[in-house]
């Protein structure tokens, strides 16, 4: 079974930009900070890191908070997520004894036990020590149906760029002379024991402008990579290409995906050596499973005499479609308050996961029936965020179901479609929820659109407009912010008397493609108007005030935070801006930035720069405006969003005399941390900063900054 969605492209992998090359032709005086590992640049980083940690670590509660957060991340009571391969259930696990992690496996009978007995397959801490590397786990690709050989991906420090090495599970060792790829953004996948599809950096001119592979090849065991045979070659202006083998028994097929941009791809079936295009709109997501082709439309589609709306899910027989038939069954159509959150297969069923006003609802279709009839999903929770996945779609209708909400820790259920599921594991509460509650409200944005948001409230709250409140958002790439259990926010914020708010602004996927498309390119400001509307609604409800409001976001959410700071500084007193995009004039020239132009636009085109400039925080910060205090965090090893964004914004605001703080983790990639210790430290920095700025009893004068 092969799914072709764009979000998976975030996991592809490149090398850091050369700062001297970036400097050519630039009139930006701070462009020198884009040299990621330059001696002067790292000295600049260390100086600001020291200043920030000296202040925040000196807080009396910092060490205890960090310890508590680390205990959550390291807890043995967490549910170990497993995937079934053959007779074994595999899990990757990090804790205080294994900071870099262990890849391990167990049997089904053992997994059901409160404390399963695990067999360690690969110890990353031991491997890192023996090889003198700071390896971070990147995943394992199994050779089916044997399930004894895997292609393991590892990155240095958590970067997107990875090495791929063949590993033998029975001997628990890497295969001497086996398949091995040098560090690059790319990957490899099995075709059969002696052949793999590979897309990587094959040398000069083989990568796209976005820094991803543009050529995919078949590589035969025992031959040098230079002799691999080209399957498909894209253009340098494409985002990436990838060849994939579907190993489903009885339905073995090969495909090539040409990704032109996010939510814009072409799909080809490699039929006996001939590439045959699957004539589906580029914007649609495509999945081939068993005998079916499933199409999730993102835009309206007219085919024959039929018209289908964006957000609709269609299904047909793959063979019939490739033979020219264009008859589809409609499995889902969006409404004003609903959108498709996802779908998946078991052996005999297709399961729909639908969002209704950002609440999950599950439905079931039986495969291979004359009529597609939607049935209730037996045993699905009525409330909370729910996800379902098949345990082994080729073998049975068994599934895992995970249920959670902002106050309820995850519970893992096991079941078979059509029967009541059984709770087999649950996570304990990591903070006291006594008296706490969650509410959903709707704010009204500038254009009249209703914007949902969730509020996690502490016990015995009094609405007087003075509660320290943290507002979190993302608003991009059709990614939905669902109300899932957040132990860190609960422990570090709500249990201390603060309010936590999760905003479902446009640009995300909470109401499907239309919600995302409403905030693309020239309409990007709508996402920020939505976020501002939520803040104002919190004020109107007398939950908080600008003096007690802080905001937080990372990556595209960091761009959100940057714009809220520069466009709406009067709405908040503190902001945490994590691994952010901020310089929208140069973003497409830095690392993977060129791949996001379908989202933001092309700043090299004057007509598009005219609207992009309006939401480029780096170009909108002013020395004569009063801004909230800002903490910027990033990672030297982030090879997706260049750390130069945070560095330059920090330097510019610092030069202008604004209150800004900075911390750059040396490891961690785009996630900001390479292990639980680093994650706990970074979280403790952020929450301590916010508490010192927003809780009235903890507002001493800030060292090293003038009070503007």
CA distances from 569 to 244, 671, 693, 704 (A): 47, 27, 15, 21
Q: Which two tokens mark 29?
A: 């005086």
Residues 616 and 596 sit within 8 Å (Cβ to Cβ): no
Helix (H) or strand (E) holding 166: strand 162-168
Of the candidates 8, 476, 474, 601, the one whose C-alpha atom is nearest the C-alpha of residue 265 is 8
Of the candidates 80, 206, 106, 94, the one whose C-alpha atom is nearest the C-alpha of residue 158 is 94
Phi, psi of 296 (to 5 degrees): -105, 110
Q: Which two tokens mark 486?
A: 């957040």
Pure H helices in 579-697: 597-600, 606-612, 617-620, 644-655, 676-694
Out of 155, 285, 387, 555, the active site residue is: 555
Of the candidates 372, 451, 358, the one whose C-alpha atom is nearest the C-alpha of residue 406 is 358
Cα 367 from Cα 350, distance rounded (Å)? 7
Cα 103 from Cα 234, distance rounded (Å)? 35
Pure H helices in 583-643: 597-600, 606-612, 617-620
Cα 35 from Cα 37, distance rounded (Å)? 6
Cα 409 from Cα 368, distance rounded (Å)? 37
User: Has 555 been annotated as catalytic?
Assistant: yes
Q: Pairing state of beta strands 135-142 and 574-578? A: unpaired
Question: What is the maximum alpha-carbon separation in the chain?
Answer: 73
SS3 646: helix
- Tell me if the bond preceding 145 is cis, omega within 30° of 0: yes
| Cβ neighbourhood burial of 428 (10 Å; 0-12, 13-18, 19+) | exposed
Q: Which two tokens mark 74?
A: 């390291």
Of the candidates 541, 651, 688, 625, the one whose C-alpha atom is nearest the C-alpha of residue 58 is 688
Cα 408 from Cα 419, distance rounded (Å)? 24
Residues 117 and 165 sit within 8 Å (Cβ to Cβ): no
Cα 539 from Cα 684, distance rounded (Å)? 27
User: Has 619 been annotated as catalytic?
Assistant: no
Of the candidates 576, 605, 601, the one whose C-alpha atom is nearest the C-alpha of residue 685 is 576
Give ∠ CA 431-434-436 in degrees, rounded to 5.
Answer: 90
Cα 96 from Cα 422, distance rounded (Å)? 31
Q: Which two tokens mark 118?
A: 């695990």
Of the candidates 156, 161, 158, the one whose C-alpha atom is nearest the C-alpha of residue 211 is 161
Instruction: Walk across the sheet containing 215-220 and list its strands.
Output: 187-192, 195-199, 215-220, 229-233
Q: Provide the 10 A C-beta neighbour count for residue 677.
A: 16
Tally of residues, the chain: 708
Calculated CA dihedral for residues 698, 700, 705, 708, nearest 10 degrees: 90
Out of 642, 645, 658, 670, the active site residue is: 670
Catalytic site positions? 555, 670
């Amino acid at each position: 079974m092969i799914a072709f969605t764009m979000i998976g492209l975030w996991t592809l992998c490149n090398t850091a930009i050369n700062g001297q090359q970036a400097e050519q032709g630039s009139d930006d005086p701070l462009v020198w900070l884009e040299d990621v590992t330059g001696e002067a640049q790292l000295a600049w980083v260390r100086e600001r890191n020291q200043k920030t940690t000296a202040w925040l670590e000196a807080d009396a509660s910092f060490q205890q908070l960090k310890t508590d957060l680390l205990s959550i991340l390291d807890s043995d009571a967490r549910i170990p997520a497993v995937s079934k391969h053959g007779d074994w259930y595999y899990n990757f696990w990090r804790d205080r004894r294994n900071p870099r992690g262990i890849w391990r496996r167990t049997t089904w009978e053992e997994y059901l036990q409160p404390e399963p007995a695990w067999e360690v397959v690969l110890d990353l801490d031991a491997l890192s020590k023996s090889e003198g590397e700071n390896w971070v786990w990147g995943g394992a690709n199994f050779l089916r149906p044997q399930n004894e050989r895997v292609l393991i991906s590892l990155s240095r420090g958590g970067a997107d760029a990875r090495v791929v090495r063949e590993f033998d599970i029975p001997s628990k060792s890497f295969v001497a002379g086996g398949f091995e790829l040098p560090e690059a953004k790319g990957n490899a996948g099995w075709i059969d024991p002696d052949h793999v599809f590979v897309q990587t950096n094959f040398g000069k001119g083989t990568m796209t402008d976005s820094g991803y592979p543009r050529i995919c090849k078949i590589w035969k065991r025992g031959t040098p990579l230079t002799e691999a045979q080209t399957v498909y070659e894209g253009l340098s202006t494409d985002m990436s290409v990838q060849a994939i083998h579907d190993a489903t028994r009885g339905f073995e097929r090969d495909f090539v995906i040409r990704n032109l941009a996010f939510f814009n791809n072409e799909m080809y079936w490699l039929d006996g050596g001939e590439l045959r295009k699957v004539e589906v709109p580029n914007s649609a997501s495509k999945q081939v499973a068993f005998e079916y082709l499933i199409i999730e439309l993102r835009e309206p589609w007219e085919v024959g005499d039929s018209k289908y709306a964006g957000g609709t899910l269609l299904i047909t027989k793959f063979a019939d479609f490739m033979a020219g038939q264009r008859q589809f069954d409609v499995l889902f159509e969006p409404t004003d308050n609903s959108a498709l959150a996802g779908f998946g297969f078991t052996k005999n069923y297709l399961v729909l996961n639908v969002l209704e006003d950002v609440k999950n609802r599950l439905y079931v279709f039986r495969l291979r029936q004359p009529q597609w009839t939607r049935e209730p999903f037996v045993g699905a929770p009525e409330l909370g965020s729910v996800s379902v996945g098949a345990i082994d779609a080729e073998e049975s209708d068994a599934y895992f179901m995970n249920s959670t909400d902002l106050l309820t820790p995850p519970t893992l259920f096991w079941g078979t479609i059509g029967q009541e599921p059984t709770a087999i594991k649950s996570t304990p509460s990591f903070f006291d929820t006594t008296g706490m509650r969650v509410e959903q409200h709707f704010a009204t944005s500038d254009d009249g659109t209703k914007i949902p948001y969730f509020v996690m409230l502490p016990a015995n709250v009094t609405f007087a407009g003075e509660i320290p409140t943290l507002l979190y958002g993302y608003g991009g790439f059709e990614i939905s912010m669902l109300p899932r259990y957040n132990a860190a926010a609960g422990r570090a914020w709500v249990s201390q008397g603060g309010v936590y708010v999760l905003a479902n602004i446009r640009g995300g996927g909470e109401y499907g493609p239309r919600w995302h498309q409403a905030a693309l390119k020239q309409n990007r400001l709508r996402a920020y108007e939505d976020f501002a509307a939520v803040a104002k609604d919190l004020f109107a409800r007398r939950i908080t005030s600008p003096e007690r409001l802080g905001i937080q976001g990372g990556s595209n959410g960091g761009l959100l935070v940057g714009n809220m700071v520069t466009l709406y500084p009067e709405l908040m007193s503190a902001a945490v801006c994590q691994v952010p995009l901020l310089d929208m004039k140069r973003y497409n020239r830095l690392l993977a930035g060129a791949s996001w132009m379908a989202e933001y636009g092309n700043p090299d085109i004057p007509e598009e720069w005219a609207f992009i400039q309006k939401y480029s925080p780096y170009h909108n910060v002013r020395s004569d405006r009063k801004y909230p205090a800002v903490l910027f965090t990033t990672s030297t090893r982030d090879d997706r969003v260049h750390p130069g964004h945070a560095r330059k914004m920090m330097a510019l605001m610092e030069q202008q005399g604004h209150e800004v703080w900075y911390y750059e983790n040396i490891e961690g990639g785009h996630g900001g941390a390479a292990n639980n210790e680093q994650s706990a430290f970074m979280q403790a920095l952020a929450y301590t900063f916010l508490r010192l700025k927003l809780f009235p009893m903890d507002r001493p004068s800030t060292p090293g900054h003038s009070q503007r």
